[in-house]
Structure 1
Amino acid sequence: MFTLNGTWILEEESVQTTSGGHLDINVFAKWVQLVVSGEGEIEVEYPDGATKSFPVTDGTLDLAKGDTPTEGVLRIRPTAGVKLYSLTFG
């Protein structure tokens, strides 16, 4: 399950926030990837409260990758101008 919070532009293949929006998604996976484009940054808040920032370049970001699964809600905060396309899990 996921929720978009704040103001978003919904396009046929992507979504992007106009300012201050975030995506919450409940995960249970060892590997979480996000396909993005544009310029800016994505900040991810993990279930344990830790945060990590990712500079955006067109392509795939590894939001989580490890030997044990990430379990709980990821909060994904893109800056304005960053498009989100898809999430994959492994």
Structure 2
Amino acid sequence: MVNYKQKDYFITCKDNEYFQVLDTIDYLLEKAITEGRYGMWEETLEMLKNQLLDNKGENITPWQFNMIITILLDFVPDNIKYKP
């Protein structure tokens, strides 16, 4: 088994990636509230958003990194995600 050693992950402000991630999280939160389905997923999104605001996109943990990827994958069309 290989020991995992975390690198210093961060979101750059080049092309506003940091703000785009925050805007995407805000969009999903607003959509959930509008649809009246606020639950555990939305609480997780709020927690991620608050953590990213606190750390300003620097020293991102593996959990935060994975959550950002999961969120962004929601916007990939199914015909691309599940391409045989």
Q: TM-score, normalized by length of structure 1?
A: 0.25
Q: Which has the higher helix share?
A: 2
Q: Max radius of gyration: which structure?
A: 2
Considering fraction of residues, name the structure with more strand.
1
